[in-house]
Structure 1
Amino acid sequence: MHRMREHIITQKYELERLKKEPYVKREAEEKLKQGLQTDLIKVISGPRRAGKSFLAARTLKGYFGYVNFDDEVLAKTEDFNEILKLTHEVYGDFKTLFLDEVQNVEGWELFVDRMRRLGYNVVLTGSNSKLLSSELATHLTGRYWEVKVLPFSFREFLSAEKVEPKVEISPQEGKMLSRLSEYLEKGGFPEIVVKGYDYRNYGKMLFDSIIMKDVVRRRNVKYSSTLYELALYLVSNFAREFSYTRLKNTLDIGSVHTVKNYVDYLEESFIILKAERFSYKLRESLKSPKKVYVVDPALLSAGFISSPNLGRKMENAVAVELLRRGYELWYWRDVRREVDFVLKKGLKIVELIQVTKEITRDNYGREVRNLVAVGKELKAKKLSVITWDEEDVIEVDGREVRVIPLWKWLIEG
């Protein structure tokens, strides 16, 4: 008990130091503030080092108790009542309880629900989406407010760099493209952007940490080297299709079932994002190849691949931004045509998006005409082509296609 108390005291000093560090206002802050006005359990999920704890610490007002379970002593606790008693001993009286990386402790969901019933305003963070969501769905149905925190968006990146994000065409456009090049290379993890950490070393360190802490240990993965090879392979082939069977054969993994589990583990720990092939037939969609993206460019620049194609890096940035905006990731492909992103609201297709560095005479049919044809088939109202620096409105077969530079699309939000 004495040792746990010492760790909670140490964490209190660490939290006070964290609150004094430079803060870049996060877009998720408003949603968290709204949640704090309710008696729902607030759940902040996202990858490691994306700024979840910093966001909560800077947003919470008044006095609150804090426990970080990403701790070798506190993570082993079997007595939450003791944890609560020690936290009150360290912090005094409080009604807001902030529990960091709570999914590290077995039985956390029952304790959290009890705290809510006792009148505590509970805020949780976690870096494993499925473990959080599955337990919350089982025990806390309808009683939680979820806030997703990803690495900096391009808008937040510009804010950190003290650059005002404006979409007007101006002499500053060249500087904006330069900033975008930097963002696509270094990524948006706050410690890279704000503290200037080397993105290659940081990305490699973070990749290894997520694999070991959030996947291997938490999921008791027996063949960790196989999982690691799979993760490297997927990251190296971002913005490309994959199938479980092909991965099994390429990497000589025992079964398709194992491959699927490993891919799911990597997705729920926020290393990769997965896009499904769109079809109105569910069975056809489930059987089709997926596309893989990476949650942040730092993981692309960490030594896994050399000089990745700009078009793929642009497509990856669009995928992450769509997730940030609340969309599920879908793409379209048939024997003749492919569209990078199919945006849905409910059962309705609201927009199709194609991503390409530039529109040329050679790729016009693939990027524009195919987009229009698929748009007619899916009855999509809005058609967009995102490019590096081209802007236009194109009329094709009676349909309007908006061409917009990536930097402007990312800023529009």
Structure 2
Amino acid sequence: MEVQRNTYLTKIINRMHNGMIKVITGIRRSGKSYLLLTLFRKHLHKIGVREDHILVMEFDRFENRQYRDPYVLLDYLKKQITDDGDYYILLDEVQMLHNFEEVLNSLMRESNLDIYVTGSNSKFLSKDILTEFRGRGDEIHIFPLSFQEYMQVYDGDLYHGWAEYVMYGGLPFVITLKTDEQKVQYLTSLIRETYIKDIVERNTIEKQQELEDLLNMLASSIGALTNPLKIEATFKSRMHSSISDNTISKYIGYLKEAFMINEAQRYDVKGRKYIGSPVKYYFEDIGLRNARLDFRQVEETHLMENVIYNELRMRGYNVDVGNVNKRYTDKETGSKLTKNLEIDFVANLGSKRFYIQSAYKMPDAEKIKQEKASLLAINDSFKKIIVVKDVIKPFQDEDGILTIGLFDFLQNSDSLEW
């Protein structure tokens, strides 16, 4: 089973020989090693790079443990580099290499070396890369499988594929498991024994239960506006905990750094400015989110919203929650009032912008009116889109709003341009 992760492979190819260390990051088990050591390596062979000019080191292999010593590794690489031709250095799980930052900075001084690394767990996060490589690290962030990638290898139709995807998420190994029991056990164990432990160890968290309770709260409220003060109040009222909003802010930061959750800020469309707190949180993998709640709260409406958010991020967009004020006249009093309306997503990429509503169903005129209200209140010319779960033929109405089915949106990477 081979998933063609062309989006990320293209990003790597476009960075070849750019004079920087290409750093592939992402949540644990998202497919970083497969992307580098299988897909990119195949590309190198395809363009005629000789095998002896592709130097691979997998530091997590037991037989390679001696190369975790920087002196041993550098001596090995030096012996393999026998001419002035271009060499490609592929280092997997580089955080296991002692003093890896200094080793990589040393290798960068050689003009004929093009360096690519993957890293994971508590010792290798985005902010570490930015700090240690001082502008010489070029990060490529990889997400779990998109629905389109998932369906490349799923043995079934779109509807059953969606049911599996929205329940168990897109971590590549999950799709190889045969039974629901295996998938539940894998995801539950992974989040408990790997992700949480990494965060606790890295940040020397003493009160692990509070971190886990916070994770449960965020998992239960995906797509809902919240902030540390609100969460603090919930801790006090429900759990009689004295955890402070400052500690909650730190813990949320740790979860974001570990790629478990992402934050969508509120953006005032008319005022063209960020509003600040409260914000929304979405999970990078919905299977892990569901596992955190023991698969008890699987509300498809909210999960669909999370999937759309992730899809936009995978396509390279910066994604915010939109806010727009609409003025109207009260029919009874004649008073001028202002109503605050929310746009699920404001997606920006360079000069492009899209306003997107996630609507599970639009069964009648009243629901259609409700979903369109915030989009109609926007007075600029950027494209406005409603994504519905229903299977429909994409159409643009008299207000210029495009309505598109969820599967068409997810299966076609150019769907926003229709």
- Class of the TM-score when normalised by the shorter of the 2 chains: 0.7 to 0.9
CA, structure 1 residues 253+104, in 2 after alignment: closer, same or farther (shift >3 Å)?
A: farther
Q: How does 1:20-99 map to 2 (within 5 A)?
A: 22-27=1-6, 28-58=8-38, 59-60=40-41, 61=44, 62=51, 63-68=54-59, 80-85=70-75, 95-99=87-91
Task: Specify the SS of the correspondent of 1:96.
Answer: strand
Cα separation, 1, equivalents of 2:397 and 2:273:
35
User: What is the deviation of 1:264?
Assistant: 1.1
Q: Structure 1 394/121 Cα, relative in aligned 2: closer, same or farther at 3 Å?
A: closer
Partner residue, 2:208: 224
Which residue in the other structure is 1:250 paired with?
234
Letter in 2 for 1:353: I
Supply the distance in 1 between the matched residues of 2:381 and 2:204 (Cα, whole angstroms): 44
After superposition, the C-alpha distances for 1:82-111 in whole angstroms (9 at most, x for unaligned) are 34346778x897943333333466743232
Give a deviation string over 1:151-182, Cα, whole Å, max 9, x none: 1111111111267xxxxxxxxxxx42332222
The question of whether the paired residues in 2 share the 8 Å contact of 1:66 and 1:98 is answered with yes
The 5-angstrom pairing of residues 385-396 of structure 1 reads: 385-389=386-390, 390-395=392-397
User: CA 1:24–1:367 in structure 2 vs 1: closer, same or farther (change >3 Å)?
Assistant: same
Equivalent residues of 1:394, 1:403 under 8 A apart: yes
Q: CA deviation at 1:405?
A: 0.8
Q: Which moved more, 1:191-200 or 1:244-253?
A: 191-200
In the alignment, is the contact (CA less than 8 A) between 2:122 and 2:202 conserved in 1? no
Q: Is the 8 A contact 2:375 2:384 kept in 1?
A: yes
Cα deviations by residue, 1:253-295 (Å, 9 ceiling, x for unpaired): 5322211111011112121121111137798633x21111111
Q: Which residue of 2 aligns with 1:205?
A: 189
The alpha carbon displacement at 1:247 in A equals 1.3
Normalising by structure 1, what TM-score? Answer: 0.80
Of 40-49 and 139-148, the range deviating more from structure 2: 139-148
Structure 1 position 364 matched with structure 2 position 380? no
After TM superposition, the structure 1 = structure 2 runs for residues 343-362 of structure 1, keeping only pairs within 5 Å, are: 343-346=347-350, 350-359=353-362, 360-362=364-366
Q: Is the 8 A contact 1:215 1:269 kept in 2?
A: yes
- Secondary structure (helix, strand or coil) at the match of 2:231 reads helix
Question: Contact 1:103/1:132 (CA < 8 Å) preserved in 2?
Answer: no
Rounded to whole Å, the distance in 1 between the matches of 2:230 and 2:261 is 18
**Residues 5-16 of structure 1 correspond to what in structure 2 (within 5 A)?**
none
Letter in 1 for 2:23: V
How many Å separate the matches in 2 of 1:109 and 1:344?
A: 33
Asked whether the equivalents of residues 21 and 115 of structure 2 are also in contact (C-alpha less than 8 Å), the reply is yes
Structure 1 pair 284–351 and aligned structure 2 pair: CA distance change class (3 A): closer
Instruction: Kindly state the Cα deviation for residue 394 of structure 1 after the two structures are TM-superposed.
Output: 4.9
Equivalents in 2 of 1:130, 1:283: separation in Å?
35
Alignment CA distance shift 1:380-1:229 (3 Å) = farther
Distance 1:195 1:92, change over 3 A: farther
Aligned equivalent of 1:176, options 146, 158, 170: 158
Which blocks of at least 5 consecutive residues in structure 2 are unaligned?
45-50, 236-240, 325-338, 414-418
The match for 1:115 is 107
- TM-score with structure 2 setting the length: 0.79
Report the CA distance shift for 1:205/1:256 in structure 2 as closer, same or farther (over 3 A).
same
**1:233 maps to which residue?**
217
Tell me which amino acid in the other structure corresponds to 2:395.
V
Of residues 278, 291, 300 in structure 2, which corresponds to 1:289?
Answer: 278
Write out aligned runs for 1:131-210 (5 A): 132-161=125-154, 175-196=157-178, 198-210=182-194
SS of 1:122's partner is strand
Are the equivalent residues in 2 in contact too, given 1:45–1:125 (CA < 8 A)? yes
The partner residue of 2:257 within 265, 268, 284 is 268
Report if aligned partners of 1:211, 1:228 keep a CA contact under 8 Å in 2: no
User: Following the alignment from structure 2 to structure 1, what is the Cα–Cα distance between the partners of residues 382 and 114?
Assistant: 43
Percent identity between matched residues is: 26
Q: Does the CA contact (< 8 Å) of 1:103 and 1:126 recur in 2?
A: yes
Note the residue ranges of structure 1 that are not aligned, 5 or more in a row. 1-21, 164-174
| Structure 2 counterpart of 1:6 | none
Pairwise CA distance, 1:321: 0.6
Alignment partner of 1:277 is 2:266: yes
Residue pair 2:122, 2:198 contacting (<8 A) in 1 also: no
Q: How far does the alpha carbon of each residue in 1:129-164 deviate from its partner, in whole angstroms, 9 at most, with x for none?
A: 99543333334344333222111111111111267x
Is contact 2:268–2:274 with CA below 8 Å preserved after alignment? yes
Letter in 1 for 2:302: R
1:337 aligned to which of 341, 346, 352: 341
Residue 124, structure 1, aligned to residue 117, structure 2: yes
Q: Which residue of 1 aligns with 2:199?
A: 215
Aligned-residue RMSD, C-alpha: 3.1
